Structure 1
Amino acid sequence: MSGPKSTADGEKVAASGLSIFSKYDPLKQRVDVVKKLGVDPFDMTFDDIMSATRGRIGNREIILAGTNNYLGLTFDPSTRASAKDAIDRHGTGTTGSRIANGTYVEHEQLERDLAAHLGKPSCIVFTTGYVTNLAAMAGLAGPNDVIFIDADAHACIIDGTRLAGTTTVRFRHNNPADLDKRLARQKIPEGGHALVVIEGLYSMFGDIAPIDEFVAVAHKHGAYLYVDEAHSYGVFGETGAGIAEEQGVLDKIDFYSGTFSKSLASVGGFCASRHPEFELLRKVMRPYMFTASAAPSNICAAQAALDAIKTRPELRHNIMARAAQLHAGLSDMGFELCAPASPVIAVRRDNEVQAAMEWNWLLQEGVYVNLAVPPGTPESSSLLRISVSAAHTEEDVNAILSRFKALKDNGDDIIAEMMRRMQASA
């Protein structure tokens, strides 16, 4: 059997004539189409980020409406001062894992404060939200356990099941009744347990889970409930402890995960548990044990943001007011929105090319939103996804609405112009 051969430029090609990258040819074709429309939405660069709501590309100021900076704390004086002070005291990084040399007193203090805020005896901090779910889910689930996940679960939850290597069962999105049926008929191996994993606020459509109903179903069957509140922590609830708090079931959540990269204005993640035994997982979670711990500046910025969440309820009031304003305005224009008002507002478009064209046009007009397309979206949807911030003003939202109004009124002309541009660059 002949092995790979090298082409003139050094690329290795199999005997079939295909390179190791050939499997991505369909993706490359999709990317090439999008690039011809203007800016590549998945590889764009801001020349400057000036505030929680403003960026700059070239000499153009852009309204940031797709950053997940829900409480607008990335530029808050307290978070910036805390991060700078941490660098002055501890340097720029830990250069070690939590179980080697990478645990500082600030890591432990943040864990205690997050645990206290959530009313849990245990909380573990990780380097990112993604790593949080990988580590905790794979650490919790053993070979005899079964994981039940929502059909619209985030990629990190799906990857957590893969790392766990256990049987995985999907149930219909936000459907406690379907979960009830699947738990009833799924045979759990002897000595095993069921772990149900849902999210609080789903990041693509912006729809909210009935966590209270999932609690009742999961515990009825003796299952553990794991809730990822990455997009809802800090935003919902009387004290900002998320949708579980708002629905009155925070004390019944077995495992509660979140991220620093949304409301906590930093980089990192955490998982808290009402089970004190969760602390033992520090000795078995590979993504926790074998990666460097979060930098002191990230930890201290998150600590300052946590303090703001607990003491500044006006941040939650403002983001909800701006979300309601934006949702109502888009609805009045006749746009199809994927869920009721929340900090995530998804505008459904007919197809991927239309969405990419409109995304480019909005950027030209000074508004940055997210382009979300399959396979990363539910129902193979093509979306213009907006994330509202507490730092947005009423005037900011009116400016965003004015661009969408122009898009609605002149959509055919905009698409025609984009098509001409794409043909000219072919």
Structure 2
Amino acid sequence: MHDMTSAPDLFSKFDDIIALREGLLATGQEDPFNLVMEKVLSPTRAICNGRETILLGTYNYMGMTFDPDVVEAGKQALADFGSGTTGSRVLNGTYQGHKEVEQALKDFYAMDHAMVFSTGYQANLGIISTIAGKGDYIVLDIDSHASIWDGCKLGDAEVVPFKHNDIEAMEKRLRRIPEGAGKLVVLEGVYSMLGDIAPLAEMVAVAKKYGAMVLVDEAHSMGFIGENGRGVCEQAGCIDDVDFIIGTFSKSVGTVGGFCVSNHPKFEIMRLVCRPYVFTASLPPSVVATAETSIRKLMHGSNKRAHLWENSKTLHKGLRELGFQLGTAEPQSAIIAVIMPDLERGAAMWEALIKGGLYVNLARPPATPANMTLLRCSLCAEHTEGEVGEILRIFEEAGKAVGII
């Protein structure tokens, strides 16, 4: 028998977070990170912990998850093509549906190339790690999504972060990069923690001045922001200067998967050299069918987009008037972040909301900027005016009960 007592426990690095979680749950608090949706009634309502609950934390921005055409397309594909492809895109995993969803993306963005991944996380992981490798430089916003950081790590490029949304800081970093090195600037349209947008027109112009390629992650803006729903790039008028747009199917599109669109003439080689694309099974036929149907409908979603903006403005104004501290002075997206004084009161407020029939996201450090605890609200185009009123009433009651307002 080996003596195991002296061996280091690989779990001991998590002791602090285990203690934090146990401390929260010891007070009888419902676990905010273990919520179960027992039944989903619509894009805006579900049964959670036995109660009917308004959903205000799902990224289901355009409410496409129960669209009858989308659901029908998924059922049909399941019947016609079975439950999965059991193979990679470069082997047996490209079905008719995969070509069709890529065509829908090319039409949606009016771009030459579209490549679909099995998740949005994999899209960032794959594209970033493949185009920026050893000896190349990636200049990125410090508040970038985890999948962006992981893509940088996987590709082994030199990573140069700059202060969030700071154009001058970004330029300073670009200026210092050695002559002749490959450069990639990575930005997001909407940052998911505070719901703020990037000054893309200025940033893309600076990146181009220094000869860098630009990748913009539009996960939280696709479908909703911009005249055609193409995101903040479209709204800022710089979509033609961006080399790669990354997006996901798990937000406005309403299913799962990730993608990259580009006009780069050599882009198609990515299908052979991008490891997270080559070495994973492709999306099931039912998923690509729902995604394609949803994307084509989002091309005509201007009424929904307008209603979602109304919802966002109403909720932002209402929460501010109640005395809550918000992440942005004005609503910039469908995300409204309510800043909590600390994790304990944030968790108590989350629990008061869920007991009142409202689900929001509790976001905590280290995922949040500046160690903030946030209650993150993501609105849906299917929320009615009445539901937004109800949301404000629940927030007011909970806020007073917990002593936040």
Instruction: Report the TM-score, using the length of structure 2 for normalisation.
Output: 0.96
Q: In the TM superposition, what whole-angstrom CA distance separates every residue of 1:309-332 from its partner, at most 9, and x where no partner exists?
A: 111311111111101110000011
Q: Match for 1:287 among 276, 282, 289?
A: 276
TM-superposed CA distance for 1:145, in Å, is 0.9
- Kindly indicate whether residue 323 of structure 2 is the aligned counterpart of residue 334 of structure 1: yes
Amino acid at match of 2:293: A
- 1:24-63 map, 5 Å: 24-36=14-26, 37-63=28-54
Tell me, which stretches of 5 or more residues in structure 2 are unaligned?
none
CA distance in structure 2 between the partners assigned to 1:362 and 1:281 by the alignment: 45
1:411 offset after TM fit, Å?
2.6
2:285 is matched with 296
> Aligned letter for 1:203?
S
In structure 1, the residue matched to 2:394 is: 403
Query: How far does residue 127 in structure 1 lie from its aligned partner after superposition?
Result: 0.3
Return the alpha-carbon distance in structure 1 between the equivalents of residues 2 and 250 of structure 2. 45
Q: 2:231 aligns with which of 242, 254, 257?
A: 242
Indicate the RMSD between aligned Cα atoms, in angstroms: 1.5
2:71 and 2:24 map into 1 onto residues whose CA distance is 36
- 2:224 match: secondary structure: coil
Equivalent AA in structure 1 for residue 59 of structure 2: N
How far apart are 1:59 and its partner, in Å?
Answer: 3.6
| Alpha-carbon contact 1:119-1:251 (below 8 Å) kept | no
Q: For the residues of structure 2 that align with 1:370 and 1:127, how far apart are their CA atoms?
A: 24
Counterpart residue identity of residue 27, structure 1: I
Is the contact made by 1:150 and 1:171 (CA closer than 8 Å) also made in structure 2?
A: yes
CA–CA distance in 2 between the matches of 1:3 and 1:225?
54
Deviation at 1:4, TM superposition (A): 5.7
What is the alpha-carbon distance in structure 1 between the residues aligned to residue 382 and residue 156 of structure 2?
42
Distance 1:195 1:119 in 2: 23
User: CA distance change for structure 1 residues 45 and 185 in 2, over 3 Å: closer, same or farther?
Assistant: same
| Structure 1 equivalent of residue 12 of structure 2 | 22
Partner of 1:421: none
Q: Say which SS state the counterpart of residue 371 (structure 1) adopts.
A: strand
Distance in 1 separating the partners of 2:48 and 2:223: 30
CA contact (8 A) 1:94 1:293 kept: yes
Partner of 2:128: 137
Kindly indicate whether the alpha-carbon contact (under 8 Å) linking 2:59 and 2:251 is maintained by their aligned counterparts in 1: yes
Residue identity in the other structure for 1:207? D
Q: What corresponds to 1:112 in structure 2? A: 103
Query: What stretches of structure 1 move > 6 A for 4+ residues in a row?
Result: none
Q: Post-superposition shift, 1:351?
A: 0.6
Moved more, 36-45 or 129-138: 36-45
- What whole-Å deviation, never above 9, does each CA across 1:62-105 have from its counterpart, x for those lacking one? 00000000000101101101111110110111100001100112
Output aligned runs, 1:145-184, within 5 Å: 145-184=136-175
- Secondary structure of the residue aligned to 1:361 is helix
The equivalent residue for 1:350 is: 341
The answer on whether the counterparts of 2:35 and 2:49 sit within 8 Å (CA) in structure 1 is no
Aligned partner of 2:183 in structure 1 is: 194
The correspondence for 1:84, drawn from 60, 75, 92, is: 75
Cα pair 2:113 2:261 within 8 Å, conserved: yes
Distance (whole Å) between structure 2 residues aligned to residue 408 and residue 103 of structure 1: 51
Counterpart-to-counterpart distance in 1, 2:361 and 2:243 = 33
Aligned to 1:390: 381
For each residue in 1:33-63, what CA deviation from the matched residue of structure 2 results, as whole angstroms up to 9, or x when unmatched?
2223422111121111111011103541000
Change (3 A) 1:4 1:103: farther
State the TM-score, normalized to the length of structure 1.
0.92
Pick the structure with greater CA Rg.
1
Structure 1 segment 208-357 matched on structure 2, within 5 A: 208-339=197-328, 340-341=330-331, 342-357=333-348
In 2, Cα distance between the equivalents of 1:208 and 1:278?
27
Q: Residue 123 of structure 1: CA displacement?
A: 1.0
- The one of 65, 71, 91 aligned to 2:62: 71
Question: Partner amino acid for 1:118?
Answer: Y
SS class of match (1:232): coil
Q: Match for residue 418 of structure 1?
A: none
Q: Distance in 1 between matches of 2:188 and 2:17?
A: 29
Contact 2:365/2:371 (8 A) holds in 1: yes
In 1, distance between residues paired with 2:256 and 2:349? 30
Quick check: 1:121 aligned with 2:103?
Answer: no
Q: Provide the C-alpha distance between the structure 2 equivalents of 1:365 and 1:255, rounded to a whole number of angstroms.
A: 43
Output the amino acid matched with 1:31.
Answer: R
Deviation at residue 375 of structure 1 after TM alignment: 0.2
SS state at 1:307 partner: helix
State the percentage of identical aligned residues. 42
